[in-house]
Structure 1
Amino acid sequence: MRTSNHLIGLLNFLTFLLSIPILGGGIWLSGRANNTDCLRFLQWPLIIIGVSIMVVSLAGFAGACYRNTFLMYLYLWAMFFIIAALVGFVIFAYVVTDKGSGRQVLNRAYPEYRLQDYSGWLEERVASDSYWRKISSCIRDSKVCRKMGRSFNGIPESADMFYLRKLSPIQSGCCKPPTECGYIYVNETIWNSGGGLVGTNPDCVRWSNDQEQLCYGCDSCKAGVLASLKKSWRKVSVINIIILIILVIAYVVAIGAFRNDKRMDNDEPYGETRMEKAHPSRIHF
């Protein structure tokens, strides 16, 4: 009995500590939303789950250390719903970011992105006109394209140097025209059409050297936002899966500790409690 309660107390203290990365992941995504892709609608579940695990872990820790049956009972039910929510959240994150990836371009170190490579709920949400106006405005205000400028000894970088850069999905999709359009490099955010456009991509006519326009209205920019979101969420999902495994282990041990508490309270040997024998129920811990 004492060993199981000590173990559940230790595990809940550990889950309390591990809830910090979940909460931090939500805050990190929120920070990325402010600075890059401006997607604010998916970090809140992580923040809510992180705070919930913190509170419930403290309840489980107190219940195990002080043998408080009510706190343990409350902890078990709350943890059950948190685990279910976390499982659903991990599955949802992988499903909505399942499709799409960058395309490699000849003689370019950075990949480029196409909206048709993505599909599903997330793509429809991002590409919708009403929502995209907010996202593009946020990207413009973040000045992510203006920050691309580089110079060496006062000389702007050449086209060959730019082609070797590792651009982020936002920079590749929103701050320059697609390579297939045949634009000629002047600097990172100014490209001339030269002798005429080559590609048939609709983004070729959407590009503008106006620094307030660039390719913020392009499908490639929307695809870059989706790629950025996918990359961020895959990193956070790895942390979520690890914490989910630990939560399940803590939950199983907590059930054993709770049953031991009930046997001690009823002054019974190992086995079913008298209460369970006299009042059987379909669902019990």
Structure 2
Amino acid sequence: MVPLIVMLTMGLALVGANKLESRRLMATPKWFREKVRHNDNWENIKSCIYNTGTCDDLVSRSLNLKAFDFSIKKLSSIEAGCCKPPSICQMEYVNATFWTKVEGAVDESQQQYSDCATWQNDQKILCYNCGSCRHGFVRVMESKWRNLGVLLILMGLLLIIAHISLFVMVMWEHYN
């Protein structure tokens, strides 16, 4: 029963029912965000995102789209954060990964517009160094962790119920 209870507890932690907010405990949201924030780790993550061809795939899926059609297209968190500039930058759409800066549209010296200055049309750079890309990656991973947590909770409950019912049946058979 102990491994089942541990599995159930871990599932609850991953789902977020048990808020473990510590940078020292592994596999907690705060710990994960801290790891992603660290530049050495981000370089490895960024190269993986680039190597998967996420932005290239986005370009191929939106070749014939005009600016309005692209603006209403549903993008994943990574596509929206890494492959295109943030909306606050007010850049003009050319294609999914090529945007032109409008002079004087935003004051890039302000902190919230730092991603606008980071954006480049180079296919190897795009917005991979942007905070929005890191945030999109964290959102995708937290969603996957939540799904894993639900699976662990369901499996833990199922196995605990099966274990208890087997125990009750054996006791019922033994004392009847």
TM superposition score category, shorter chain reference = 0.7 to 0.9
Q: Secondary structure at the match of 1:216?
A: coil
Which one of the candidate residues 78, 90, 99 is aligned to 1:170? 78
Q: Secondary structure at the match of 1:217?
A: coil
Distance 1:151-1:260 versus aligned 2 partners, 3 A rule: closer
Distance 1:88-1:216 versus aligned 2 partners, 3 A rule: same
For the pair 1:185 / 2:97, whether they are aligned, the reply is no
Counterpart residue number, 1:242? 154
Distance 1:160-1:128 versus aligned 2 partners, 3 A rule: same
Cα shift readout 1:16-66 (whole Å, capped 9, x = no counterpart)? xxxxxxxxxxxxxxxxxxxxxxxxxxxxxxxxxxxxxxxxxxxxxxxxxxx
Superposition TM-score, scaled by structure 1 size: 0.51
Which one of the candidate residues 91, 103, 118 is aligned to 1:195? 103
Q: Is the 8 A contact 2:92 2:99 kept in 1?
A: yes
Please report how far the alpha carbon of residue 96 of structure 1 lies from its aligned counterpart in structure 2 after TM superposition: 9.7
Q: Is the 8 A contact 1:206 1:217 kept in 2?
A: yes
Please report how far the alpha carbon of residue 237 of structure 1 lies from its aligned counterpart in structure 2 after TM superposition: 2.9
Higher RCO (CA-CA < 8 Å; seq separation 6+): 2
Superposition TM-score, scaled by structure 2 size: 0.80
Please report how far the alpha carbon of residue 246 of structure 1 lies from its aligned counterpart in structure 2 after TM superposition: 1.3
Task: Flag as ranges the 4+ runs of structure 1 deviating above 6 A.
Answer: none
Distance 1:95 1:135 in 2: 24
For the pair 1:148 / 2:82, whether they are aligned, the reply is no
Q: Which has the larger radius of gyration?
A: 1
Cα shift readout 1:213-257 (whole Å, capped 9, x = no counterpart)? 001111100110111112223333333322222111111123335
Moved more, 237-246 or 128-137: 237-246
Distance 1:125-1:186 versus aligned 2 partners, 3 A rule: same
% same residue: 31
Unpaired runs of 5+ in structure 2? 20-28
Which one of the candidate residues 116, 138, 142 is aligned to 1:204? 116
Distance 1:176-1:151 versus aligned 2 partners, 3 A rule: closer
Unpaired runs of 5+ in structure 1? 1-79, 99-118, 264-269, 272-285
Please report the RMSD computed on the Cα atoms of aligned residues, expressed in angstroms.
2.6
Distance 2:18 2:86 in 1: 23
